[in-house]
Structure formats: structure tokens, C-alpha cells
Amino acid sequence: MKTVFQIVFLLCCCLLMLGCLGDQHAAETKPLRPVMVLPISDVIDTETKIFTGVIQSAEQATLSFRVSGRIDKIPVKEGQIVKKGDILGRLDPHDYKLGVIMGKARLSEAKAANKLALAEYNRIKQASLGNAIAAIKLERAESALEQSIATINVMQQTLQQAENALSYTLLTSPFNGVVGKIHVNEYEQVNPGLPVLELHQPKNLEAVIDVPERFISRFAVGQSGILAWNGRDREIPVKVGEISSVAHPVSRTYAVTFRIPGHARELMPGKSVVVTVPLDHAEDSICIPYEALLQKDNRASVFIVDGQRAIQRPVQVACLLEKRVCIRGELDRDASLIVAGLHFLKDGQTIGEPIRVE
């Protein structure tokens, strides 16, 4: 009986060992799960962005009077073509003409006082030669003469200021152009610096767009773009002419100005347009899908394929885009990123066949 039990026990052990060996063999022969990958070279490209903008004149000005007064006449209308030096507005000159008249009168008075002081000085100087008069009187006469000369200089400057103020009652065109918008009406009282009208040169136009902070570093003077309007029925090539270095205090955007070659009849100051710009990525960063970035414990990393292993590489987030995240790190441009299942991977883990995503 004892022998029978020993035989049964040995048979059970053999069966268990065979089962374990079978499981081990099955585990060893279990196929590795493939991974979805994206070659880094596929994401090092240009990104096309579309910005809305507005047309404005490259040469434009908001004109205002340099003195205060009541508007006597606005002899131009909106849309009127004017030449350099044409009168665009006039203030009531009555008070300023009086200022010129008073200035001339005071200058004449100063000159008469100077003539009298000079005669008195010469008389006292002649008398002092024979010691017929005290030296103190000669000094007083000389001082009075110098004071009269200084008064003439002051009156001349005062008259010049009055004449300038009178000339400032006329608002003239600083260049050939077209009257855009008139902000005031005749007989209104205006102060210095108050906008009176807009003047622009319609043959020299430019487009201005507002660029968010995260994109401004990817713009450069001379960069090309495509300007379109009327539902993109019309398109013309443009180039960046100016880039603002100061952000708008509220929107935190930067103004980028595109030069428009030639002249299109449909384009006028104030017209809304769209500008399509290809933006190169920064040389030290690449922009990848969000699925390819692993963020854990406030650390960012990616997995790249190295033969049959998944290698984890630390990276830094440079900026966030709408559909991609730009990162910096020591990444081989010929490597491939794993873009799915990152949370289930470990550094150095063996992986299956890489499948390239489109």
C-alpha cells in the first residue's frame, strides 16, 4: 500500500512540474505588444497659422490743432484727395490776431524806450568826461540802456510766439493723401492735441495682425505670408516689415506689420483681412502630440524606441499649442517617439514591433 501512495505522489509531482514548465514556455512565447510610434523627423516641420488683421496706410496721421479755439471752417470732406500744404481746418483767428497786434505795439514801445535810454546814456557819458556829473549816474544810464535792449529781445520773442499761434489756427496737410475720418464739426471748441481728422496715403498700404506671445518669437522681418480677403477669393504675397517689441497691455499681443506690394483696388484702410503665415519651430525645440508626453511627479518625459526597448528621456516643456506641445531635450532627430500607452511603460522595457502612425 505504501508503494502505491509513493507512485501516486510521484505522478502528481510530475504533472505539476509539467504544468509549470508549460506555463513558463507559454509566457516565454507570448508575443510582445506592438507600440505606436511617430518619427521625430515628422514633427520637425513648419506650422501654418492664420491670423486676422486690418489694412492701414503705411503713411497716416491723426491731425490736431496746436492751439485752442473755436473751429471756424473745415473746408474738406471725408474721402477728399488733398495735396501737401492744403488747408484742412481753420480756427477763429480773432484773438490771435489781436495778440500779434499787441505784440507789435509792445515791440515798438520797447524800441522807443531803447532810443530814449541810448540818448540819455550818450548825454550823461559826454557830461562825465568833464567831471560835470557823478559816475553813479553814468552807471545807472548804462544799466537802463542794457535793460531796454533786453526788453526789445523779449518783445521780439513774444511777437514771434503770437505770430506762431496765429499760424497754428490753420491746419494744413503734411503730405499728399486722402482725408479719412473727420472727428469734429464746425463751430465746436477744441483744445490742443484733440484729434480733428485722419489723413492717409491709400497707395501705400500695410496689414497689421496681433500675434500672441507664444508665437512672436517665430516671426522675423522679411518673413513671407499670404494675405487674403473676400472669403479668400483674392490672395497676394506679403512680407513682414515691422515687429512690435512691446506687448499690448491688455491683450498681451504683439503687432506685426506686413508690407503690401503694389496696390489693389479692393484694399482700403480699415478693411478686415486674413494672413496665413508658415511658422518654423525653434531650433532647440520640437512640437509633438500631447499623447507622446508623459508628465508625472511634476516631471516631463518621453519614450523613444531603441531597438526593441523603450527608453525614457527627460524633457522640458517650452510652450503649449492648440494640438501639440513644444519640448526641449536631448533627442536624436532620427529616433521615433512612442505616442500611446506611456503610463504602462518602464524605462528599458522590451517592446514589440513599432507601428508608425499617420
> Which pLDDT tens digit goes with each residue over 48-100?
889 999 999 888 899 999 999 999 999 999 989 999 999 999 999 999 999 99
Does residue 24 surpass a pLDDT of 60? no
User: How many residues comprise the chain?
Assistant: 358
CATH classification (class only), 94-167:
mainly alpha
Lowest-confidence region among 63-77, 125-139, 167-181, 221-235: 125-139
Does residue 341 surpass a pLDDT of 80? yes
Given this model, what pLDDT does residue 124 score? 82
Confidence band for 22, pLDDT divided at 50, 70 and 90: very low
CATH topology of domain 65-91+169-199: OB fold (Dihydrolipoamide Acetyltransferase, E2P) (2.40.50)
CATH topology of domain 49-58+201-280: Elongation Factor Tu (Ef-tu); domain 3 (2.40.30)
Q: What residue ranges do the domains of the chain occupy? A: 35-43+284-356, 49-58+201-280, 65-91+169-199, 94-167
Given this model, what pLDDT does residue 283 score? 58
Residue 264: alpha-carbon gap to chain centroid = 25
Query: How many Å apart are CA 351 and CA 35, to the nearest integer?
Result: 7
Does residue 11 surpass a pLDDT of 60? no
Lowest-confidence region among 23-27, 40-44, 267-271, 276-280: 23-27
How is residue 33 annotated by DSSP?
Answer: P
Say which residue the cell 480756427 belongs to.
Answer: 91
Given this model, what pLDDT does residue 189 score? 95
How is residue 132 annotated by DSSP?
Answer: -
What digits encode the pLDDT tens for the residues 220-277? 899 999 999 877 678 899 999 999 989 899 988 999 999 998 767 788 888 899 999 9
Say which residue the cell 465746436 belongs to.
Answer: 188
CATH topology of domain 35-43+284-356: 2.40.420
Query: How many Å apart are CA 305 and CA 332, to the nearest integer?
Result: 11
